[in-house]
């Protein structure tokens, strides 16, 4: 991402959705970046991973009234992690109509766990 930011002129706004929030957290320190926008995204502190943030949602730290996001993840072979469709529907698409939810769920897939274990060294 740094190489792309190095090529841009002007004020850059980075928008991160979901896991993309973890990516823009450190990238936001680039001098070209003037604003960060987190859209239903991980907004991590320096040294915090998505896995750690999901543990908060899993109930190790409780927020009353929120769906249990972390409980919906399962591990599969090859250190891949998958979000259960019913948890995804409740946690990610709860304000969407049924057709939009079905469209989004059809596009869910496994993700390497290692991507969710990385931590930004610094946070913008």
Quick: pLDDT tens for 12-58: 999 998 889 999 998 999 999 999 999 988 888 888 888 787 766 55
Phi and psi, residue 120, nearest 5° = -70, 135
Q: Let me know if residue 46 belongs to a domain.
A: yes
Outline where 1-124 has alpha helix (H).
2-6, 20-27, 50-55, 85-92, 98-105, 113-117
Q: Let me know if residue 19 belongs to a domain.
A: yes
Q: Residue 91, Cα to own-chain centre: how many angstroms?
A: 12
Question: What pLDDT is stored for residue 103 in this prediction?
Answer: 96
CB of 110 within 8 A of CB of 81? yes
Q: Let me know if residue 122 belongs to a domain.
A: no
Q: Let me know if residue 124 belongs to a domain.
A: no
The count of structural domains within the chain is 1
> Which tokens hold the place of 80?
């891949």
Q: Kindly report whether the global pTM for this prediction surpasses the value 0.85.
A: no
Q: Let me know if residue 17 belongs to a domain.
A: yes
Range(s) of the domain holding residue 26: 2-117
The CATH number of the domain holding residue 86 is 3.40.50.1820
Quick: pLDDT tens for 91-115: 888 789 999 999 999 998 898 888 8
């Amino acid at each position: 991402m740094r190489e792309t930011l190095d090529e841009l002129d002007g004020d850059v706004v980075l928008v991160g959705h979901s896991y993309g929030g973890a990516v823009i957290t450190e990238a936001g320190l680039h001098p070209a970046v003037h604003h960060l926008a987190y859209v239903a995204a991980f907004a991590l502190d320096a040294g915090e991973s998505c896995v750690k943030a999901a543990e908060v949602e899993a109930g190790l730290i409780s927020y009353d009234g929120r769906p249990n996001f972390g409980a919906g993840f399962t591990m599969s072979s090859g250190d891949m992690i998958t979000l259960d469709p019913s948890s995804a529907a409740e946690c990610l698409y709860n304000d969407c109509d049924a057709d939009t939810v079905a469209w989004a769920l059809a596009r869910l897939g496994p993700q390497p766990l290692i991507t969710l274990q990385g931590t930004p060294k610094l946070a913008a």
